[in-house]
């Protein structure tokens, strides 16, 4: 499963490969059925084992025409990659829109949307 997200032509493919490996370990260990915060905490414990530096629950400023209009919180910034996690049976269009908006607001070029809630881990790689 990981290979679809780690092609060498992808920006930050080495980082995303390690993030995905960490997420796979969390999902393999916990399985589906927990609240998002449980997966967030478990992933925060797993990331150092994959040599990843991260910040959890990062506030991003949102600007409109040069003026700050608000703030939004993202689940993780892992090195140069924004990561938003979900714990639902399946990802839905608003999840993609939300993550793309966070990418645009943050200036990060690569994001991962990871869903721990289904029987199989869902991963969507997004680019700004």
pLDDT tens per residue, range 91-124: 999 999 999 999 988 889 999 999 999 999 999 9
| Helix (H) / strand (E) containing 64 | strand 54-64
Contacts of 106 by beta carbon, 8 Å cutoff, 6+ apart: 60, 74, 77, 82
Give pLDDT, residue 63: 86
Mean pLDDT of the chain: 91
Q: Which CATH number fits domain 2-127: 3.40.1720, 3.30.40, 3.30.2010, 3.40.1350?
A: 3.40.1350
- Please indicate whether residue 6 or residue 76 has the higher confidence score (pLDDT): 76
Confidence of residue 7 (pLDDT cuts 50, 70, 90): low
pTM for this entry: 0.89
Angle made by CA atoms 82, 11, 13, in degrees to the nearest 5: 85
Whole-number Å distance between alpha carbons of 35 and 46: 17
| Helix (H) / strand (E) containing 126 | strand 122-127
Ordered by start, the domain boundaries in the chain are 2-127
């Amino acid at each position: 499963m990981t290979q679809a997200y780690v092609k060498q032509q992808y920006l930050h493919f080495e980082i995303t490969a390690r993030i995905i490996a960490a997420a796979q370990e969390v999902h393999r260990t916990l399985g589906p059925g927990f609240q998002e915060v449980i997966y967030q905490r478990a992933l925060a414990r797993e990331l150092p084992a994959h040599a990843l530096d991260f910040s959890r629950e990062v506030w991003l400023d949102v600007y409109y025409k040069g003026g700050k209009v608000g703030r939004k919180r993202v689940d993780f910034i892992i090195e140069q990659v924004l990561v938003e996690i979900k714990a639902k049976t399946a990802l839905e269009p608003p999840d993609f829109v939300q993550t793309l908006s966070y990418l645009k607001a943050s200036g990060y070029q690569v994001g991962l949307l990871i869903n721990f809630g289904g029987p199989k881990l869902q991963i969507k790689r997004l680019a700004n």
